[in-house]
Structure formats: structure tokens, C-alpha cells
């Protein structure tokens, strides 16, 4: 970041993405048999990473998602969610960058989103294994998390490719 204006812009966008992550997570919550829920928050987690980068994107993704756990009564999950969603955003950003944005954004973006969602599925499985003292119990949530991951990846790629990519940039360089 070159100056205070760039920092203010990044912080403002991070706050906006934090709120959008929370709203997307709260807006549609489809309960799963494992007492969790499938939601659209992961789509914003990926988009935040692609727009804001690894630091501000991870902060927005982790804080927005953790706030929803607190609001929705899943307080015990909030610390894990903060870490898992932040890690998802960082992975999504770095995979996209490694795949090369200039090679066409669709396939690298799909790879980035899928990798981030794999972090989510594995992260919650490991957290729940510790929480419930049972790998068997923890892995009962894997199918629902995989569905949420597939939905989040598909929506994030579609929204980015169809909408966000076409928004004009107003950066003065």
C-alpha cells in the first residue's frame, strides 16, 4: 500500500466484505442432520480473497464468519471458524496467484475455490474430532460440509466471473 488513502480503501472494503460474509452466511441457513447448516458465506470468503488479497481478505472472511457463529448460537465454533475461514481466504488467494490470473481466470479461479473449500472440510473435521473426542463423529459432518463447499465454490466463481470481474476499476496509478 502506497499511502494512507490506499490503506483506508482496503480497510473500508475489508469491513464491507466482513459484513457481506456475515449477511451471506445468515441469509440462507439450510440445517443439516449434523446440527450445522449449509450457507452462502463461503462464496464471499473466496471473493474477499480475490478482491482484497490474503491479509484483508482473510480478516474479512474469518471475522464475518465467526460473528455469525456467535450470533447463531454456535459460540464454541467461533474460534475455529475464525481460523478456518481466514485460512480458506489465504489459500484461495495464493492458489489463484500461483495458477496465474493471466492464463484466463476461470480454471485458476475454480482451482482456488476448490482448494479453499477443501481447507474448510478438513479444518472442521479436525476441529470436531478434537471437540467430540471422536474422528467417527467428526467425519459425520464431512458430507454436509462438502455440499456447502461445492455450493460456495460454484457461487463464488460464477459471481466473480459474471459480475465482479466486469466492475470498472477506479484505481489511479
pLDDT at 173 over 50: no
Output Rg (C-alpha) for the chain, integer angstroms: 16
**CA atoms within a 13 Å half-sphere pointing along the CA-CB vector of 155:** 17
List, for residues 54-93, the tens digit of each pLDDT value: 999 999 999 999 999 999 999 999 999 999 999 999 999 9
User: The pTM is what?
Assistant: 0.91
| The predicted structure's pLDDT at residue 48 | 96
3-class DSSP state for residue 5?
Answer: helix
Q: Which CATH number fits domain 4-166: 3.40.50.1970, 3.30.2040.10, 3.40.50.1820, 1.10.1760.20?
A: 1.10.1760.20
- Where residue 115 falls among pLDDT bands split at 50, 70, 90? very high
Euclidean distance between CA atoms 154 and 8, whole angstroms: 31
What cell numbers appear for 71 in the block? 450470533
Which pLDDT score, from 0 to 100, does residue 167 have?
76
CA distance 147 to 3: 42
pLDDT digits 0-9 by tens, 22-51: 999 999 888 888 777 889 999 999 999 999
| Alpha-carbon dihedral sign for residues 75, 77, 80, 83 | negative
Question: Average pLDDT of the chain?
Answer: 91
pLDDT of residue 101 exceeding 70, the answer is: no
State residue 172's pLDDT score: 46
The pLDDT score that the predictor gives to residue 102 is: 57
For residue 104, the cross-strand partners are none
The distance from CA 14 to its chain's CA centroid, rounded to whole angstroms, is 13
Amino acid at each position: 500500500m502506497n499511502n494512507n488513502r490506499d490503506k483506508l480503501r482496503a480497510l473500508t472494503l475489508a469491513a464491507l466484505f466482513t459484513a457481506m460474509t456475515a449477511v451471506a452466511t445468515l441469509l440462507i441457513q439450510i440445517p443439516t442432520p449434523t446440527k450445522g447448516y449449509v450457507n452462502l458465506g463461503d462464496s464471499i470468503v473466496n471473493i474477499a480473497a480475490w478482491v482484497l488479497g490474503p491479509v484483508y481478505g482473510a480478516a474479512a472472511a474469518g471475522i464475518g464468519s465467526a460473528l455469525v457463529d456467535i450470533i447463531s448460537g454456535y459460540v464454541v465454533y467461533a474460534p475455529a471458524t475464525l481460523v478456518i475461514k481466514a485460512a480458506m481466504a489465504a489459500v484461495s488467494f495464493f492458489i489463484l496467484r500461483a495458477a496465474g490470473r493471466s492464463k484466463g481466470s476461470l480454471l485458476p479461479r475454480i482451482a482456488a475455490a476448490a482448494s479453499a473449500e477443501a481447507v474448510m472440510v478438513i479444518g472442521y473435521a479436525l476441529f470436531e474430532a478434537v471437540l467430540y473426542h471422536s474422528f467417527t463423529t467428526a467425519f459425520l459432518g464431512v458430507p454436509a460440509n462438502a455440499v456447502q463447499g461445492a455450493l460456495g465454490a460454484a457461487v463464488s466463481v460464477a459471481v466473480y466471473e459474471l459480475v465482479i470481474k466486469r466492475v470498472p476499476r477506479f484505481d489511479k496509478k
